[in-house]
Amino acid sequence: MVQERSRRREEGQAVTAVAIVVVLVLVAAALGIVFRTGKVTSEVSKIQSGADAAALAGAQQVREDAYDNIVRSLQSRVPRGFWSCGDGQGRAQSFASRNSTDVTTYCYYPLADRVEVSVRSDFVTETGRRESADAVAQTGRRLGPCIVVAVPGSTTGYETTADCGDVTVRVYVDTTGNVTLLTTSAEIRKMFRVTLRE
């Protein structure tokens, strides 16, 4: 009887020990899954931040360059826009790099007011590969060739406006037809509101 009680006690202790080991293994596995999921979420967030920063930086550069591009458009004798798909790309890459990403595609669409950016992580993520993210920013203004509003019958120089897409600026047209921009760079920058679109 004593031996049987002792044997039952040993069996009970063994079952308890096995149960404790199983629980510890399950807790360790759950913690591993939670840690890995948290790391993947953090990496995805970092990559998306890189895309967002790149898109915003590109749009801000477009805003900064708007004055010079408007001047060039006004000085051309044929209505022409001086905006291109690559406007702002250098600044976008700089900001993407600060977030451990590289720009894979970039384009500024002036008439649609879109700066589209795709980035890829410059590190291998927890998923085992380099992940990508996309972002779209806007400047708040569509830009196009500047069209000067003519004042019919004027033989001397005159002040008028020019429409450059959604941006209307004040200009002076001299007697030879040369156009001078009167709106300041600071005034033009204030017309824009850079934000993420999607």
Confidence of residue 142 (pLDDT cuts 50, 70, 90): very high
- Domain hosting 148: range is 2-196
* Full DSSP string of the chain: -HHHHHHHHHHHHHHHHHHHHHHHHHHHHHHHHHHHHHHHHHHHHHHHHHHHHHHHHHHHHHHHHHHHHHHHHHHSSS------TTTTHHHHHHHHHHTTEEEEEEEEETTTTEEEEEEEESS--TTSS--EEEEEEE-SS----EEE---TT--S-EEEEEEETTEEEEEEE-TTS-EEE-S-HHHHHHT---EE--
Confidence of residue 20 (pLDDT cuts 50, 70, 90): low
pLDDT at 123: 87
What's the domain count of the chain? 1
Which of 36-40, 50-54, 75-79 has the lowest average pLDDT? 36-40
Select, from the ranges 16-30, 32-46, 163-177, the one with the highest average predicted confidence (pLDDT): 163-177
CA end-to-end span of the chain: 77
Note whether 173 and 157 are within 8 A (CB).
yes
pLDDT at 5: 65
pLDDT at 124: 85
**Angle made by CA atoms 62, 73, 182, in degrees to the nearest 5:** 90
Note whether 195 and 187 are within 8 A (CB).
no
Mean pLDDT of the chain: 85
Q: Bigger pLDDT: 78 or 45?
A: 45
Statement: residue 194 has pLDDT above 70: yes
Confidence of residue 73 (pLDDT cuts 50, 70, 90): very high
Statement: residue 29 has pLDDT above 60: no
The token duo for 63 is: 């805003």
**Entry pTM:** 0.77
Average pLDDT (39-48) is: 73
Which of 38-52, 85-99, 123-137, 176-190 has the lowest average pLDDT? 38-52
Q: Bigger pLDDT: 32 or 159?
A: 159
